[in-house]
Amino acid sequence: MSEPQTPLRIGVAGASGKMGQLLIQEVCRHPEVRLAAAIDLAHSPLIGQDAGSRLGVLTGVQVSSDLSALSAAEVLIDFTRPEATEQHLAACEAHGLALVLGTTGHDPRALESIARFADHHRLVFAPNMSVGVNIVLKLLEMAGAALAEGYDIEVIEAHHRQKVDAPSGTALKMGEVVAKAAGRRWPTDAVFAREGTTGARTDQEIGFSVIRGGDIVGDHTVLFAGLGERIEITHRSSSRATYAQGAIRAALFLRSVGPGCYGMDQVLRLNSSLAS
């Protein structure tokens, strides 16, 4: 019988933010991982305090603005802002960490840096770490192929009023998956704005609608509208905890693979090449 593995040492970026606190909470609950580092900006009110102090949990890990604190971890989970990605990539390279990256809104230069990182390091990079969302992506692949002709496709997403990028990374990924399955050109056939006299829609376009308001965690619907029927595939998030739980699954997945950029479909073994 093989020996049980020691808990995976996790570092959390943005430790004082909403997502960072959820990650710390879920890491503390999970029997296969433990918190080893917590980092944040120098002006964070939690700097120098125990990472679990707001949660009523003593982790023994102080929040630090010094990225060298990551040397205690094996994997960094990052759901912060795209402008922080370059620094976090460099820190992971310097200290030999794998990376779970759920940040969206990167510019082309940052995407190139992410790709270079994955040439020699282990990375899960996904716009949405929710298990349910990634199941929906597989359903969309099936629907897009079956409904490629005779159906108009629209992606509708809603998020809280503080979200700064639009459409969401998840909505864009849904559009990309459907476009590929339906034989449409991505992103050429995407329509992100309609105003004034737009004329009739084309057969190939994939429309996007964005709602921002209140504390909506995240709703996504892909509508296939045909003549006489319509099909809607919807995912609604009621808690960000699903993203944290998915990120921990991604971190554990990286323990058993080599360098490369992996998606949540591979983490969840929805990809046939890893399902054997």
CATH among 3.20.20.70, 3.30.465.10, 3.40.50.720, 3.40.640.10 for 8-125+240-275: 3.40.50.720
Rounded to whole angstroms, the Cα distance separating 120 from 188 reads 32
Distance CA 194, CA 144 (A): 23
In the 3-class helix/strand/coil scheme, how is 260-271 assigned residue by residue?
A: EEECHHHHCCCC
Neighbouring CB atoms inside 10 A of 150's CB total 10
- pLDDT tens digit sequence for 183-213: 999 999 999 999 999 999 999 999 999 999 9
**Mapping DSSP to helix (H, G, I), strand (E, B) and coil, where does residue 130 land?**
coil
Neighbours of 139 (CB within 10 A): 13
pTM: 0.83
- CATH 3.40.50.720 in the chain, residues? 8-125+240-275
Mean pLDDT to the nearest integer, 16-43: 96
The answer to whether residues 220 and 168 touch, using CB atoms and an 8 Å cutoff, is yes
CATH 3.30.360.10 segments of the chain: 131-237
Q: Which two tokens stand for residue 263?
A: 């998606």
Tell me what percent of the residues of the chain surpass a pLDDT of 70. Answer: 96
Q: What is the rounded CA–CA span in Å between residue 74 and residue 51? A: 18
Predicted pLDDT at 274: 39
* Element housing 73 (H / E): none
Q: Give the up-direction half-sphere exposure of residue 192: CA atoms within 13 A in the CB hemisphere.
A: 10
Q: How far apart are the first and last CA of the chain?
A: 22
What pLDDT is attached to residue 240? 87
Pick the CATH number of 131-237 from 3.30.40.10, 3.30.360.10, 3.30.470.10, 3.40.640.10: 3.30.360.10
- Which residue in this structure is represented by tokens 């376009």? 205
Give me the count of residues in the chain. Answer: 276
- SS3 state of residue 31: coil
pLDDT at 2 over 60: no
87 vs 272 pLDDT, higher one = 87
Q: Which residues are catalytic?
A: 159, 163
Question: 3-class DSSP state for residue 62?
Answer: strand
